[in-house]
Amino acid sequence: MNDVVSLKARRDRALGAGAALFYETPLHIVRGEGAYLFDADGRRYVDMYNNVPCVGHANPKVAEAMARQQATLNTHSRYLHEGVIDFAERLAALHGPQIESVVFSCSGTEANEVALRMARFATGRRGIVCTNATYHGNSELVGALTHVGSRQPETAEIHAFPFPESYRPIEDGLSEQALCDAYLERLADAIARFEASRVGFAALIVCSIFANEGLPRVPAGFMARAAEMARSAGGLVIADEVQAGYCRTGRWWGYEVTGFTPDIVVTGKPMGNGLPLAATAASRALVETFRTKTRYFNTFASSPLQAAVGMAVLDEIEDKALGENAAAVGAPLKAALTQRKGVWEAIGDVRGEGLFIGVEMVKDDPARAPDAPLAVAMANRLKNKGFLTSNAGAFANVVKIRPPLVFSHGDGEAFLAAFDQAVDELQAERRHG
Span 267-286, contacts to its own copies by CB under 8 A: 268-269, 272-276, 284
Contact between 121 and its own copies by CB under 8 A: the answer reads: no
The region of 135-143, 192-200, 228-236, 330-338 touching its own copies under the rule CB under 8 A is 135-143
184 Cβ partners below 8 Å, 6+ apart? 222, 225, 226, 229
Under 8 Å between Cβ of 245 and 94: no
Centre a 10 Å sphere on the Cβ of residue 186 and count the other Cβ atoms it contains: 16
Using N-to-C axis directions, what is the helix angle for 108-123 and 284-294, rounded to 10°? 90
Contact between 367 and its own copies by CB under 8 A: the answer reads: no
Q: Write down the least CB distance from residue 339 to its own copies, Å.
A: 31
Under 8 Å between Cβ of 192 and 129: no
Per CB under 8 A, which of residues 219..278 are in contact with its own copies?
A: 268-269, 272-276
Contact between 10 and its own copies by CB under 8 A: the answer reads: yes
Strand pairing class (236-240; 201-207): parallel
Q: Write down the least CB distance from residue 162 to its own copies, Å.
A: 23
Of 26, 221, 234, 386, the one binding its own copies by CB under 8 A: 26
CA nearest 315: which of 74, 62, 52? 62
**Sign of the alpha-carbon dihedral angle for 70, 73, 75, 79:** negative
In this complex, which beta carbon is closest to its own copies, that of residue 314 or of residue 336? 314
300 Cβ partners below 8 Å, 6+ apart? 76, 106, 276, 306
Contact between 213 and its own copies by CB under 8 A: the answer reads: no
In this complex, which beta carbon is closest to its own copies, that of residue 284 or of residue 409? 284
Residue 343 parent element (H or E): none
Q: Write down the least CB distance from residue 427 to its own copies, Å.
A: 29
In this complex, which beta carbon is closest to its own copies, that of residue 16 or of residue 173? 16
Contact between 29 and its own copies by CB under 8 A: the answer reads: yes
Distance CA 345, CA 364 (A): 7
Q: Write down the least CB distance from residue 10 to its own copies, Å.
A: 5
Of 56, 113, 133, 311, the one binding its own copies by CB under 8 A: 113
Contact between 41 and its own copies by CB under 8 A: the answer reads: no
Of 201, 246, 253, 290, the one binding its own copies by CB under 8 A: 290
Q: Write down the least CB distance from residue 353 to its own copies, Å.
A: 22
Q: Write down the least CB distance from residue 145 to its own copies, Å.
A: 12
Under 8 Å between Cβ of 211 and 133: no
25: helix, strand or coil: coil
Contact between 82 and its own copies by CB under 8 A: the answer reads: yes
